[in-house]
Structure 1
Amino acid sequence: MDWSTFWDPIGLSVQISVVASVLVFAASLFIAWPMARARFFGKSMLETILLLPLVLPPTVIGFVLLVVIGRRGWIGKAYESLFGGPILFTWGAAVIAAAVVAFPLAYRTIKTGLQGVDADLEHAARAMGANEWQVFRHITVPLAARSLVSGYILGFCRGLGEFGATLMVAGNIPGRTQTIPTAIYVASDGGSMTMAWAWAGAMIALSFLMLLLVGRMSKGA
């Protein structure tokens, strides 16, 4: 057992999850706001598509990502032309995988919070001369703040625990793309159960603390 590398997957997982959850939070807030307020044709179908990664097996998500961000995919081609190399099996691919699987959970939480804001308060602010940005910034966001933060934390936790899609598009390169879940898999497969338990304990502790924070916020503590 090489304990000198124990912290590498943990630090990498936290970095990937932080970046992915920031991207997910921004995308969720941008999409959830009109979805919570507007009515339009095809809204139900769009909502289903947005939530689809929540129920799809990670291997299916990983396969789709392989097609999209691979060297023949449109994102993969654009990335390679800009940066001179493929995005597959890089830190960026791990961020994309974590973001895709985390998005539905964060989106649903944030949308629920936005729907809980009293629309009459927003209408009153508009009647007093506030524009849409001012209404959103000074009325909607403060009233939905707990749900917004909960959405971010849940997205972080989901990204932290992603395994299947990450393994398919980012691989398991120690120090570069090896996250806690992939490290646990390799350690247990190789018979290093003590190391696997240590990483599993770190994952459980991180997730427990994050969910405890979400629970306290939901109770207004």
Structure 2
Amino acid sequence: MADLISPAEWTAVLLSLRVAVWATLVSLPIGILVALALARTEFWGKEIVNGIVLLPLILPPVVTGYMLLVLFGRRGPIGGFLYENFGISFAFSWTGAVLATAIMGFPLMVRAIRLAIEAVDPKLEEAAGTLGASRVTTFLVVTLPLIFPGIIAGAVLCFAKAMGEFGATITFVSSIPGETQTIPSAIYALLQVPGGEPQALRLVVVSVIVSMGAVVASEILARRAARRIAGA
């Protein structure tokens, strides 16, 4: 494939994969905890928390990107603190792209995992509790194996969203070749240049292949997990 696309295009592909993988890995533990809290616990403000989780799906991506720029920019309350005390900067860097894509994919991940948790019979968890298992042990031994297909689905949805995210990313980190220019922003840049359509088309094909590969892999893993659960 490296012979079919230019070095600049290959750089955008590798950066997109890097950003999407990190966005998924960073989001997954938090997504599982949030989904578990929303599915299994009752607390004051639960509806507000659920609304905040789903907010990136409702807001225009550009608005989300602008909010990230205000909060995590070097002059923002969070970004300024991180930069002055730890030298960490998210704006206009690939780590900022990870943050933006993770936030945009987070609602899809949480929704898929929450549905999987809600499908688990609570009596199974209660039975483990009556046998002396703690909540953590019950989750690791009973709940986690049963919701594993949902976790895979949520991770793939987050990965796919991160691969295709454009509005929030370009607003927060711009489109800097080799640093923040992912596949969507590279396609957009190429379409603004006369004669850039063939290069843009190649990136579109690569994006489709990667996304389809992720979906197929998730289906295979989910089916294997389901067979193991059924055979247990």
Tell me the TM-score normalized by structure 2. 0.89
What corresponds to 2:230 in structure 1?
none
Comparing 27-36 and 134-143, the one that deviates more: 27-36
**2:194 paired with 1:193:** no
What corresponds to 1:97 in structure 2?
100
Comparing 133-142 and 25-34, the one that deviates more: 25-34
Aligned counterpart for 2:24 among listed residues 8, 21, 24: 21
Structure 2: unaligned runs, 5 residues or longer: 228-232
Assess, with a 3 A threshold, how the Cα gap between structure 1 residues 20 and 120 changes in structure 2: closer, same or farther: same
What corresponds to 1:32 in structure 2?
35
2:148–2:222 Cα contact (<8 Å) kept: no
Comparing 81-90 and 128-137, the one that deviates more: 81-90
**2:144 paired with 1:152:** no
* Deviation by residue 1:31-64 (Cα, 9 ceiling, x = unmatched): 1111101122321222112111112111010111
2:112–2:154 Cα contact (<8 Å) kept: yes
How far apart are the structure 1 equivalents of 2:7 and 2:70? 36
Aligned counterpart for 1:106 among listed residues 101, 106, 109: 109
Structure 1: unaligned runs, 5 residues or longer: none
Aligned counterpart for 1:67 among listed residues 45, 70, 76: 70
How far apart are the structure 2 equivalents of 1:66 and 1:105? 22
1:65-214 correspondence runs (5 A): 65-84=68-87, 86-191=89-194, 192-214=196-218
Aligned counterpart for 1:10 among listed residues 13, 32, 36: 13
How far apart are the structure 2 equivalents of 1:22 and 1:212? 19
1:150–1:217 Cα contact (<8 Å) kept: no
How far apart are the structure 2 equivalents of 1:83 and 1:190? 39
* Deviation by residue 1:119-160 (Cα, 9 ceiling, x = unmatched): 111000010011111101000000111001111111111111
Segments ≥4 residues shifted beyond 6 Å: none
1:97–1:169 Cα contact (<8 Å) kept: yes
